[in-house]
Amino acid sequence: MSLLHYLLILLICTAAAALMLSISLRLVVSTAIIHARYRIQSRPIFEPTTLDNLPITFRPKLGELIRRMQAMGFVAVANVTAREPNAPQQVTQCMLVNRQTGTRAAIFCLIMRNQYLPSIAFVNEYSDGTDIRTANARSVEFARQGPRRFRESLPRDAMVEEMFRRHAAQVAAHAPTDAAPILPEPGREIEFVSARHAEARAAALPK
């Protein structure tokens, strides 16, 4: 191979390396901008929720919601807090499960400095990819489209009993007859919540 060929190969490799470096730098800068603007962490810290994690005025509301959902056949199985180390916000999630209907429910509380925003969601997921959700607040999951995704967004002040009634109607209309519901294994609920939280955050990041 002639010296000219070697030089051409060297130039091509150098140009390719420069292009890859440019792309990598853009990804780093984009990630930094997203983090600075939206405070999105790729690995939030999960820990069991304590009273100190909950706003004082939210505590009785959470207890009331849990009691009302227990009356509908749900059992509280996990209560975790996702804390952002470098951001002034955290999310608490109380997960309840109704194994008879194959339904998960979550009571969320987004806390940002001195303000908080609670929300509720009911979810039925199945092994064939069917995903049925009813919530009183839109989320990343509501933006994800697919042939087996069914969503209903209700007003924020919707009664939890009415939400579950509407969700049950959706499940009756769209649930598959030949697929198993996806529920957390007993004793591994926190791992389940952590994995779902990571998936939601991954979906929120630009591809």
Residue-wise pLDDT tens digits, 160-207: 999 999 999 999 999 999 999 999 888 888 788 777 766 766 665 555
- The predicted-structure confidence for 134-146, as pLDDT tens digits, reads as follows 998 765 455 555 6
pLDDT band at 12 (very low <50, low <70, confident <90, very high): very low
Please name which of 144, 86, 141 lies closest in space to residue 108, comparing C-alpha atoms.
141
Between 184 and 4, the more confident residue is 184
Please give the residue that has the higher pLDDT: either 145 or 159: 159
**Choice between 100 and 29, residue whose per-residue pLDDT is larger:** 100
What does the pLDDT read at residue 144?
A: 56
pLDDT at 109: 86
- pLDDT tens profile 42-92: 466 777 888 888 888 888 999 999 999 999 999 999 888 877 777 677 888
pLDDT at site 204:
54
Reply yes or no on whether the pLDDT at 25 is more than 50.
no
- Least confident among 11-15, 90-94, 99-103: 11-15
* Mean pLDDT on 139-164: 79
d(C-alpha 5, C-alpha 9), whole Å: 6
**Does the pLDDT value for residue 9 go beyond 90?**
no
More confident residue, 53 or 28: 53
C-alpha Rg value of the chain to the nearest Å: 22
Give the pLDDT confidence score for residue 147 in this predicted structure: 72
Q: pTM of this prediction?
A: 0.71
pLDDT at 205: 53
Instruction: Note the pLDDT of residue 15.
Output: 36
If you average pLDDT over residues 20-34, what whole number do you get? 35
